[in-house]
Amino acid sequence: MEISEVIKFLAKTTPFNHLSTAELSQLGKHIAVYYYQAEDKVPTNGRRLLIVRTGVFALYSDQQQLLAKLQEGDFYGYQQLLTDLTDADILKCEEDGLVYWLDAQMFHQLRHQFKNVDLFFQRLFSRRLHQYKEQQQNSRFTLKLHDVVQAHKISITPQQTVQQAALLMTEKRVSSLLVEQEQKLVGIVTDRDLRSRVLAQALPANTEVAAIMTRQPHTIDKNAYLYEAVQLMSRFNIHHLPVTEQGLCFSMITATDIIRAQQDHPVYLIGEIHRQQSVDGLEQCSLHIQELAQTLGKQQVPAHEAGHIITTITDALTQRLIKLAMQQLGEPPCVFSWLAFGSQARMDQSLNADQDNALLLEKEPVGEVELYFAALADFVCTGLARCGIKLCPGNIMASNPELRLSLKGWSGRFARWITTPTPQALLNASIYFDLRVIEGSRGLFNALQQDILAKTANNDLFLLHLSKTAQERTAPLGFLKNFILEQDGKHKKGLDLKKRGISLITDLTRVYALSAGISEVNTRLRLKALAETQVMDSRDVQNLLDAFDVLAQLRWDKHLQELQQGHDVTNLLDPAQLSALQRHQLKDCFAVIHEAQSSMRYRFSREL
Amino acid sequence: MFGWLKLHKEPVNAVVQQFEAVAWPAADTPVSQCRFLVLDLETTGLDAKNDHIVSLGWVVIEHQEINLAKAQHLLVKPPVSVGQSAVFHGLHDKDLSKAQDLADVMTELLQHYAGAVFVAHHASIEQKFLTMACQRLYGRSPKFKFIDTMQLEWQRLLNRGKVVHQRDLRLPACLSRHHLPHNQHHHALEDAFSCALLLLSQLKKSRNHQMTLGELTALSRG
């Protein structure tokens, strides 16, 4: 006999959510229910699968180190069931709760019977859950016709005259007409037909449309992909294609429509940016960034690529603004490099990023040089702000005179951070260690970067302090009501995906990259370089890369959703909005970060 | 002439005898060692003399674990229409067509669970109906002893200095107080399961972690 309370719970718990009711009720028969009270120790070597129903359970290593917090829908015991090894872990109840114990026989039977159940636990075990995909997954899709054409049918009957057709086309400002007889498509008439089949043939204005139309035109269903329409058009050398919906006419798509549909392609937007002659024009262009983001979302462009594209656009805006400033201010008095820090430098900008930039000058910023670049920086920074890239609240901007320095000036400043590091100074300074040149002299920039890397590589004291600041914040180990939820200015609560996740990976990757003198700035490229040079273990790197991608993807999807709903874009995630799988994946990521932080601590303190 | 009556009565009565032959665990048995049978009945009314059992649900607790493999939900053929009581338990006459005879159900219960500690929420109902059923079927009933989770809850709240209303003691209210999952109330098996969860929680929450069956019985009597 099954108990619906138990079955209902299993039915919404990944990976059992794919089982049928009959299978679930079989499963239910192999369950024993136990109630634990806070402080109770849970036996860990019972050769059974523990499923948390309610309450919170903390998992400690034999060295009393907190490994994870388990709550509703979480599992324990699969480790031993899969490997037959015993474990010295300690599992302790923290908040009274119920657990379901599933016996080993049923656990193995399910694994053999259902591939996704097996895969789920294997992945969970190897911490590679981010590679587990729900079975019914949406296929990758690109734009479909109904995304770009509206129901906009302009039609005429075959018995009407060519003059009527010309009048209708003029009135509706279209270059083609659908010819319909009793709701059925019988042909099309285009501008070109009127020219070559009527005028050129000297036919009278009262000629019937039927006489000159293109009969039985190619059509395409509105659910087809846009690229299928392009293929049809180029294959048959046509520029007009009737779009049908369940066999009936829906609209017409033209080659021009297709070109227009591609306009929110990033290449198009970047080209537009470089053609603008005024800040107003750039501001207009920047309004399309959000549309572009949504298109990227629809095309399921992965988050890290989307971050790259968004950075490229910020770069283009910056470059164009510098050009416009130079048109206004005249030629610069010396060579300069416009630098970007932080996410723009790493090329993983998000939609809510603010400005982090500076100027590196060939000459000391005094007199004429200072006046010129102060004006240039003001122009560019206010221009960027108008284009939606907010001013930096910490004033890390080229418009700040302290951030307009010569090579000697910058070199000295980095030297101070590197040779006499204090944790507080480093906490503020770590952002400066991710830098990239956006415009101006590359040579000047390279001189600075090489100088920095030469000072940081193998500099144990500096690396120790930098690694300490990279551990100031930790990833949450459990989703405990108030434990991890943070507030933003608007008193919204949530889990900060950036502060508690993405940044932690960025920070620790930076420490390793600087220790090894790697000049890459992008976090993913840094990690790959670290694996190639064997500074880090390639498996650890893969885990970090996966965790980074999962977190970035969650944030990107969330930002897109907020855009679509017209909300402000924030990094605060409401854990209640997550699916069970996402929750598992997120916990997985946090565990990966946690481990990477501990090995970093070990690595950089030991070498001192 | 009426010898067949006697013959018929003999083996059936044996069920009661066998049940009585297995004693409850000794009073000094730790509750963690006890086997509990947590039971719930749905009936056509509250009067054991005139109303009838329509369904029985039970779960077994061994070593403080509810073993779902032994969970049972049995429908009973009532001698009369379930009438208006269907509103509560959701069982209509048509559902009961596949139900079993009360005799079969009772025999299964008594044969398998002699020596188990019976538990119910507001146990006087279960006690009265089981007693009446045995008297009707076997001519005589064993003395059913129950641990009553409602009484336990009442004691618990009194000890904490609470003013206790009747409504606070109803099963759904108790489940909420113990942060236990709820389900369909007035379904014999679901309620038996809920009652078992409540008992486990009550046992854990008592300050006496080495509690014996004797102490539990005393608490249950109030």
Note whether residue B21 is domain-resident: no
- With contacts defined as CB-CB under 8 Å, which chain B residues touch A93? none
**How, if at all, do strands A176-181 and A155-156 pair?**
parallel
pLDDT digits (tens, 9 = 90+) for A152-201: 789 999 999 999 999 999 988 888 999 999 888 999 999 889 999 999 99
- With contacts defined as CB-CB under 8 Å, which chain A residues touch B40? none
pLDDT at A565: 83
- The domain made up of A273-447 is a member of CATH 1.20.1270.10: no
Whether B104 contacts chain A with CB within 8 A: no
Whether B208 contacts chain A with CB within 8 A: no
Nearest by CB to A32, from B68, B190, B205: name it.
Answer: B68
Residues 6+ apart with CB under 8 A from A316: A270, A273, A274
A34 and B180 within 8 Å at the Cβ level: the answer is no
Distance CA B123, CA A44 (A): 36
Whether B32 contacts chain A with CB within 8 A: no
Can you tell me whether residue A324 is helix, strand or coil? helix
pLDDT at A135: 37
Nearest by CB to A4, from B180, B184, B203: name it.
Answer: B184
Portion of chain B with pLDDT greater than 90, in percent: 48
Cβ contact A427:A469 at 8 Å:
yes
pLDDT at A262: 61
Mean pLDDT of chain B: 85
Note whether residue B17 is domain-resident: no
Probe site for chain A from B35, B56, B66 (most A CB atoms < 10 A): B66
Residue bearing tokens 């999952």: B181
* Local confidence band at A243 (pLDDT 50, 70, 90 cut-offs): very high
- With contacts defined as CB-CB under 8 Å, which chain A residues touch B193? 3, 5-6
- With contacts defined as CB-CB under 8 Å, which chain A residues touch B183? 3-5, 8
B204 and A96 within 8 Å at the Cβ level: the answer is yes
Q: Which of A141-145, A532-536, B26-30 has the lowest mean pLDDT?
A: A141-145
Report which of residues A525 and A584 the model is more confident about. A525
pLDDT digits (tens, 9 = 90+) for A64-77: 777 778 888 889 98
Cβ contact B78:B105 at 8 Å:
no
Q: Which of A239-248, A502-511, A576-585, B189-198 has the lowest mean pLDDT?
A: A576-585
The answer on pLDDT for B56 being more than 90 is yes
Q: Mean pLDDT throughout B72-101?
A: 70
- The domain made up of A4-126 is a member of CATH 2.60.120.10: yes
pLDDT at A257: 77
Minimal CA separation from A263 to chain B, in Å: 54
Q: What are phi and psi of A568, to 5 degrees?
A: -70, 145
Q: Mean pLDDT throughout A383-399?
A: 92
Note whether residue B140 is domain-resident: yes
* Local confidence band at A571 (pLDDT 50, 70, 90 cut-offs): confident
- With contacts defined as CB-CB under 8 Å, which chain B residues touch A9? 181
Give the residue on A whose Cα is nearest the Cα of B191.
Answer: A3
B68 and A37 within 8 Å at the Cβ level: the answer is no
User: Which residues partner with A360 through β-bridges?
Assistant: A337, A405
* Local confidence band at A139 (pLDDT 50, 70, 90 cut-offs): very low
pLDDT at A606: 58
Distance CA B13, CA B19 (A): 10
Give the residue on A whose Cα is nearest the Cα of B203.
Answer: A35
pLDDT at B213: 93
Whether B171 contacts chain A with CB within 8 A: no
Whether B68 contacts chain A with CB within 8 A: yes
Distance CA A351, CA A608 (A): 40
Note whether residue B124 is domain-resident: yes
Can you tell me whether residue A94 is helix, strand or coil? strand
Q: Total structural domains in chain B?
A: 1
Give the DSSP letter string of A205-234. TT-BHHHHSEES---EETTSBHHHHHHHHH
Interface of A with B (CB under 8 A): 1-6, 8-9, 28-37, 40, 53-54, 96, 98, 101
ipTM for the whole complex: 0.83
pLDDT at A131: 42
pLDDT at A382: 95
pLDDT at A263: 56
B204 and A33 within 8 Å at the Cβ level: the answer is no
Q: Which of A13-17, A349-353, B91-95 has the lowest mean pLDDT?
A: B91-95
Nearest by CB to B69, from A30, A36, A37: name it.
Answer: A30
Whether B204 contacts chain A with CB within 8 A: yes
- The fold adopted by the segment(s) A145-261 is CBS-domain (3.10.580)
Count other Cβ atoms within 10 Å, centred on residue A541.
Answer: 22
* Local confidence band at B87 (pLDDT 50, 70, 90 cut-offs): low
- With contacts defined as CB-CB under 8 Å, which chain A residues touch B179? 54, 96
Whether B184 contacts chain A with CB within 8 A: yes
pLDDT at A295: 77
Q: Which of A82-96, A268-282, B3-17 has the lowest mean pLDDT?
A: B3-17
CATH label of the domain that carries residue B64: 3.30.420.10
Helix, strand, coil share (%) of chain B residues, nearest 5: 50, 20, 35
Q: Which helix (H) or strand (E) holds A462?
A: helix A460-469
Q: Mean pLDDT throughout A141-156?
A: 76
pLDDT digits (tens, 9 = 90+) for A323-361: 999 999 999 999 999 999 999 999 988 888 889 999 999
Please calculate the CA angle A359-A360-A365 and round it to the nearest 5 degrees: 85
Amino acid at A339: L
Give the residue on B whose Cα is nearest the Cα of A26.
Answer: B69
pLDDT at B45: 85
pLDDT at A577: 76
Q: Mean pLDDT throughout B142-159?
A: 92
The number of CA neighbours under 13 Å toward the Cβ of B148 is 19
Q: Mean pLDDT throughout B93-109?
A: 79
pLDDT at B95: 63
The answer on pLDDT for A235 being more than 60 is yes
A3 and B201 within 8 Å at the Cβ level: the answer is no
Distance CA A217, CA A198 (A): 19
The answer on pLDDT for B133 being more than 60 is yes
Distance CA A33, CA B192 (A): 13
pLDDT digits (tens, 9 = 90+) for A25-67: 999 999 999 999 988 999 887 889 999 999 999 888 777 777 7
Minimal CA separation from A318 to chain B, in Å: 57
Nearest by CB to A35, from B189, B193, B200: name it.
Answer: B200
CATH number for the segment(s) A467-606 = 1.20.120.330
Residue B217 domain boundaries: 29-221
Q: Which helix (H) or strand (E) holds A92?
A: strand A90-95
Q: Mean pLDDT throughout A227-254?
A: 82
The number of CA neighbours under 13 Å toward the Cβ of A115 is 4
pLDDT at A127: 62
Q: Which two tokens stand for residue A420?
A: 């006499």
Report which of residues A235 and A597 the model is more confident about. A597
pLDDT at A189: 94
The answer on pLDDT for A484 being more than 70 is no
Minimal CA separation from A9 to chain B, in Å: 10
Residues 47-66 in B contacting A (C-alpha not used; CB under 8 Å): 57, 59, 64-66
Q: Mean pLDDT throughout A236-259?
A: 84
- With contacts defined as CB-CB under 8 Å, which chain A residues touch B66? 32-34
Minimal CA separation from A35 to chain B, in Å: 6
The answer on pLDDT for A405 being more than 70 is yes
The answer on pLDDT for B163 being more than 70 is yes
Distance CA A43, CA A64 (A): 16
The answer on pLDDT for A458 being more than 50 is yes
Whether B71 contacts chain A with CB within 8 A: yes
Nearest by CB to A1, from B71, B180, B197: name it.
Answer: B71
Mean pLDDT of chain A: 85
* Local confidence band at A481 (pLDDT 50, 70, 90 cut-offs): very low
pLDDT at A372: 95
The answer on pLDDT for B171 being more than 70 is yes
Minimal CA separation from B139 to chain A, in Å: 31
Domain-wise residue ranges, chain A: 4-126, 145-261, 273-447, 467-606
